[in-house]
Homo-oligomer: A and B are copies of this chain.
């Protein structure tokens, strides 16, 4: 597989049944197109890790891909609950492992840093530790006080959507950064989707913006609009209407199945999905440009 490849090929090559997958993105740059491709390719028994499972994991769970979910906030942001995930848990079809945001992200950061664990200060809220034995305690060797620890999380695969990457996978992203970088460094394999593939000269004009270096990346896929119904800062807006709509779709197993048939199984790829959304949605999500002031690196 060449590094610059189709999303279909990248999912085929990099994601295996039973893998622990971390599809990154805190509300922003969520790689929905990759989630749909995984559903289409019928991956099974995945362990799906994400601070906020969001609609992407709700859909993958509905698509039968998941054995277990690892999370810290299982809500439809600004709307309510994740109903497909809840139904799967209540039916005993889905294992789960639960954290707070900080303990979840500390796990990933430890994984990215090559550490076996990271400490956190105590929170005095101990019920979560009672149901999740991954929370442990250590004595701070300096003060003698207790800290909490969580173990490193090293997913088999990270899926990270970015605004721009070059053909070697050097990635630049901006706006809300979530845990994109930590996921890429923590994982064994890295699948990048990008709104734009740019010349390396663009990347090299602003090296501080490059959060993921190409040499840790296994596949780069050019997938415009990959993040819908979430968004790509500067490229298209968040589709709040769909987030509200999903609440209804996911409440009804029949409707959910019909939605998957129509919007995932029935389509070849993200381009077909975007065209199917139609010009009115395109217009609604369109964003006027607002450019950053450049900085001077100097011809040193």
- Chain A: residues with CB nearer than 8 A to chain B? 114-121, 136-138, 140-143, 145, 147, 149, 151, 163, 172, 174-175, 177, 202, 205-206, 208-209, 231, 233-235, 237, 287-300
B290 touches A298 (CB 8 A): yes
A136 to B144, CA, bound (A): 13
Apart from A116-B147, A163-B295: 11 A-B pairs, beta carbons within 8 A: A114-B121, A115-B121, A116-B142, A138-B138, A174-B208, A174-B297, A175-B208, A209-B292, A233-B297, A234-B297, A289-B298
B291 touches A295 (CB 8 A): yes
Q: Count copies of this chain in the complex.
A: 2
A119 to B137, CA, bound (A): 14
**Chain B contacts for A120, CB-based, 8 A:** 115
A208 touches B177 (CB 8 A): yes
**Chain B contacts for A163, CB-based, 8 A:** 295
- Report the minimum CB–CB distance from A154 to chain B (whole Å): 12
**Chain B contacts for A151, CB-based, 8 A:** 142
B291 touches A292 (CB 8 A): no
B288 touches A298 (CB 8 A): yes
B300 touches A237 (CB 8 A): yes
A292 touches B205 (CB 8 A): yes
**Chain B contacts for A114, CB-based, 8 A:** 121
- Report the minimum CB–CB distance from A107 to chain B (whole Å): 11
Q: List 19 A-B contacts (CB under 8 A).
A: A115-B121, A116-B121, A116-B142, A116-B147, A117-B119, A138-B138, A141-B149, A142-B151, A172-B295, A174-B208, A177-B208, A206-B292, A234-B295, A235-B296, A287-B299, A289-B296, A291-B294, A291-B295, A292-B295
- Report the minimum CB–CB distance from A207 to chain B (whole Å): 8
A295 touches B209 (CB 8 A): yes
**Chain B contacts for A177, CB-based, 8 A:** 208
A295 and B174 in contact, given A116-B140, A119-B119 (Cβ under 8 angstroms): yes
- Report the minimum CB–CB distance from A62 to chain B (whole Å): 29
B116 touches A233 (CB 8 A): no
A208 to B234, CA, bound (A): 13
**Chain B contacts for A142, CB-based, 8 A:** 116-117, 136, 149, 151
A298 and B234 in contact, given A119-B119, A205-B293 (Cβ under 8 angstroms): yes
Q: Name the residue on B nearest A145 (C-beta).
A: B116
| Contact of A300 (CB < 8 Å), options: B143, B202, B287 | B287
A299 and B288 in contact, given A114-B121, A136-B141, A208-B174 (Cβ under 8 angstroms): yes
- Report the minimum CB–CB distance from A102 to chain B (whole Å): 10
A233 and B298 in contact, given A142-B117, A208-B174 (Cβ under 8 angstroms): yes
- Report the minimum CB–CB distance from A160 to chain B (whole Å): 16
List the 8 closest pairs (A to B, CB-CB), nearest first.
A234-B296, A206-B292, A287-B298, A234-B298, A288-B299, A136-B141, A291-B294, A116-B140
